[in-house]
Chains A and B, each alone.
Chain A
């Protein structure tokens, strides 16, 4: 047996792959060839040390870390699939209602609660008489114009109150006119400039700049897009939620109102987030309204409609501003603005991870 042939036997012998005959030939050759014997010793030692490499363990339970994401994923059970379909229908109905509200707002109708409630159902004609004629029950009974995130004050307080964020409701400036009908970006939350949080809260969280058609609610483009419709729905939902906090408890479908607020939720603004537009309460709702993202206590929290935390970002240092916007129902981006620059992070809820961009 030649030395070049023995090299393969040396390797295979490390894996116990030699037959009895091959092993005998192999041993015979080694007994007569010192070079091959030395080489065999080298590889034996290497293989032995490879086998003793540490069996590393994860620093925490990976399964526990992905449980929130797993809970969002569809399962074999058809019940969840049915729920998903129902959400789609509810979202469509909410969008229609939002369109009515946008039209209503555009006509500079009073935004009192009564009129807000009356603005449902009709898509086109939204004169004062018509809107006054519409009954509030239409709002209450049908799929609510609200985000799936419950406006449950109690829950919000227990879960993760953001009193400091609530203090920053009033935008300090209106957003510049944007392409309201840019449907391809309708899930992108507009950034707002908002005053920093209360002194007790080190982190300065800013709400995204509201779109022009959303901020004032008094000047909505006539060419209403889904974003504008969402804004209309938001204003109506805001009024509704302020007067009917229990509406959120209806099941199904859950209210499309926002949470993460220990005070009275700005449901009108929150309802705007139906299409992923940032409401004044600094809670950013996903396009389908099932999730909401909030910057609180140096982390980004993503919650479902039951205020259960689905994802928590890494803890970041004090920043000047935090901008959050949804790319789609499972992905969102948040930007941490500091004096020395901006950090962009992308959260992928399906994967349960975030990545710095």
Chain B
């Protein structure tokens, strides 16, 4: 939660208050950018761009929405623009036939644990809109409503994206498939 007084002071022209506000949000902004754009350099660029845009548009924030969701909207839009500009060829989940790991040793009693990097790799393979929803849900700990507010989407659409993203991750990671789940 960001103090409403700080926000109001920033909107009234208090430059110090605005800079303090930017300092308060720079980490969440960066984290969202990092998980959407998948690498540090792009995340730094996008996060800086987002902070500058927030600085410029602070007066456009209205209290009817949460400040954090307003911020996340800005950074996700920038990240989505970055993705599209890069014209990355996302690996279609339908084309991805094999799991990320060789699961031949999973047949028995061997338990494998998916590392954070494996999960992150799988997230990177998700389509852009699914990756965004996963990021807001698990990195920013947003509810359906908050995600919907940040992305300006209906809640049902948010649910659909989130459920589909989890299914795709479950398909990509053998550790989360039947018979390969650690207890």
Residue numbers of A with Cβ under 8 A of B are 8, 11-12, 14-15, 17, 35, 38-39, 41-43, 45-47, 49-59, 61-63, 65-67, 69-70, 73, 75-77, 350-353, 355
Contacts and interface: CB of A to CB of B under 8 A. Distances in A.
Interface residues of B, number: 50
Given A11-B166, A53-B139, A62 B176 contact: no
- Majority secondary structure, B binding face: helix
Nearest to A348: B49
Given A11-B166, A61-B26, A353-B49, 12 more contacts: A11-B159, A38-B178, A46-B176, A49-B114, A53-B119, A56-B31, A56-B34, A62-B51, A63-B22, A73-B55, A75-B15, A351-B48
A313 to B, nearest CB: 14
Interface of B: 12-13, 15, 19, 22-23, 26-27, 29-31, 34-35, 40, 43-45, 47-49, 51-52, 55-56, 59, 114, 116, 119-120, 134, 137-139, 141, 143-144, 159, 162-163, 166, 169-170, 173, 175-179, 181-182
A109 B144 CA distance: 76
A58 B23 contact: no
A292 B90 CA distance: 41
Contacts of B173: 46
Nearest to A11: B163
Nearest to B120: A53
Contact of A66 (B12, B51, B141): B51
Given A49-B119, A56-B31, A62-B44, A350 B134 contact: no
B47 A45 contact: no
B23 A63 contact: yes
A77 B55 contact: no
Contacts of A351: 48-49, 52
A42 B179 CA distance: 9
A11 B56 contact: no
A62 to B, nearest CB: 5
A39 B47 contact: no
For B43, B119, B166, which residue has the most chain A Cβ atoms within 10 angstroms? B166
Contacts of B26: 58, 61-63
